[in-house]
Structure 1
Amino acid sequence: MSKKQISRLLRIIVPLAVLLYFIPIFTVVFIAMGVLDLSRHSKITPALAKKYFTGNGLLTWALSPVNLCLDLISHRNKYVYKLDDFPDTHKQEIQDILTIFDEGKEEIISNIRAQLDGKSRGMLFYKWYGKNTNTAVPAFNKEYKYIKTIGISVFNKKKSTSLHFGPLRLTLRVLYNLTPIKSDNIFIEVDGKKHFWHDDPLFIFDDTLQHQSINEEDHERYCVFVDVLRPSYFTGFQNVFMKVMQVVFLKINGIFYKNWAVLK
C-alpha cells in the first residue's frame, strides 16, 4: 500500500474512531446506511467498496441517509430506465428537451466544438439544479416541473472518465448521444453492465450507482445531459429540496467537474 493510500485510509479511519468513541450509536447507524446504500450494486467487490468508502464515493456515502429517505418517498428504483417507465408528465418534458436538442444539434455541436479546442472533456450547462445558467437556447430557460438540469457533455477523441458515483438520488440521469457511431468502443458502463450507444442513443439510469463513460474512438462524443426528478407522490417536497440543493451545489459544483472544461 502506498503512502498516499495509507494517508487516505487514515483520513477515514481516524474520524470514524473518534465518532465511535463519542457518538457510537449514530456512527454505527451511519456506517450501516453506507453499507445498505452500497449493497444496491449487483456485485460487491473490494475495489468497489474501497472507492465508495475511501475514494470518490465519499460524498455519496455522506449523503446515504438522505438518499435512503428519498428512496422511501419515490417509486421503486429500477436503476436503469426506459422512457416508457416514466409517467406521461415526466415523459413529455424529457421528449420536449430531446426534440429541442435534435432540432438544434448542428448549431449546438458547432458552438461546443469551437470552445473545446483540444481539451479532453467539456461540459456546457443551460440549467443546473433548476437555475438557468446559459441563455444560448431560450427554450431551455422555461420553468420545468420535473427537468432540473439541462446540459451537454463532450469527450474529445479517445477520452474517458474513471469509475465514479453521483452524489444524490433526488433525480435520474438522462443521457442522449447526439453523435452515435457503430462502434463497441464508445459506451457507458453502469454497475458492471455496458450500454453501447449504437444500440440506443438514449440511456436513463440512477447515477449514484458506480459508472463510467468510455470513448476509445477517433471521434468526439456529444451527449445530452439531463437530470429529471424521480417519479414520486411527493413532487412538491422534491422541488423544495431541489431549491436547497441548488444553493448548496452551485457553490461546490467545481468539486464535481474539476476535470472538465466548463463551456459557455
Structure 2
Amino acid sequence: PAVLMNGTVPAYRPMHRGNEGTDVLQLERGLSALGYDPGAIDGTYDASTAAAVRAWQDDLGLDDTGAVELGRVVFLPGERRVTKRIAAPGGRAAPGPALTTTSTHRVVTINLDAADQRSAKVGARAPVELPDGSIVPGRVESVGRVATAASGQDGGGDPTIEVTVKLTSKRGLGHLDAAPVSVRLARSRRHHVLTVPVTALVATKGGSYAVEAVPADGGTQLVAVTPGLFAGGYVEVEPLHRGALRTGMKVTVPA
C-alpha cells in the first residue's frame, strides 16, 4: 500500500539511514502521528528512525527493511478527500496517477470570463447560492492568472480564468460533496447613494426615467432621476434636481 502523510515536499527519493532533508522530517512527523517513535524529529534518518520504520512496516505486513522505497509514502498538505479512483485493485499497472484528491474544505470553483477578472479580487466577498436557494457567505480565495479558451459547440468559446471561492460558513451545506451553485461577484460598489426598488422606475419620454415620490404632506410627485448600478432588486438613483429625493422618502411601486 501507499501511505499518505502530511507534508508539502513530495517524496522524490528512497529514504534510508544517512539521509537528511525535509522529506525525512515529514516522514518522522508522520511516523510519530501514527504512534511510532522515530526519536528526535530533526530531519535526520538515524537508527531510531529506521527502528520506527521497521515497526511500521511490520504492522503493514511489509518486509521490515528499515528503509522506505520510493512510492511507499505520498506527502500531501493536510487531510485529503479522494475524488476519483483511477486504478482498481488487481488491475494492470499503468503510468499516471492512481487516484485524484482534493482538500477536505469545501470550496467553489468557477470559470469566470476573463473580461470580468476585475470583479474577482482575493479576499472579496462572494456570496454563494446553493441549489435550494439559500445563501452562504464566501470569499474569493484565489484568482487564476492564465486564461484558457472554453470549448463550445462551435469549437471555440470566450477565454476564462479559474476562481476559487472559500465558504466562510458551513451552515446549510448539509452533506453535499458536489453541486451546481451560483456565485455573486460585485463588479463595482457605491457608498452613500440613494436606492429604490427597480420596479419603482418609471420610463418617461426621450428614454429618461423617474420615480413617483410620496411627499410627507401627501399626494405624489414624479421626480426625474438618473439610474446607476442595479443589485439585489434595487437600483441606484440620482435626482436631476438636488433635494427632490431624500433618504427615507416613500416611492410608489406596482401592486
**TM-score when normalising by structure 1:** 0.23
Which of structures 1 and 2 has the bigger CA Rg? 2
Normalising by the residue count of structure 2, what TM-score does the alignment of the two structures yield? 0.23
Bigger relative contact order (CA 8 A; separation at least 6): 1
Higher strand share: 2
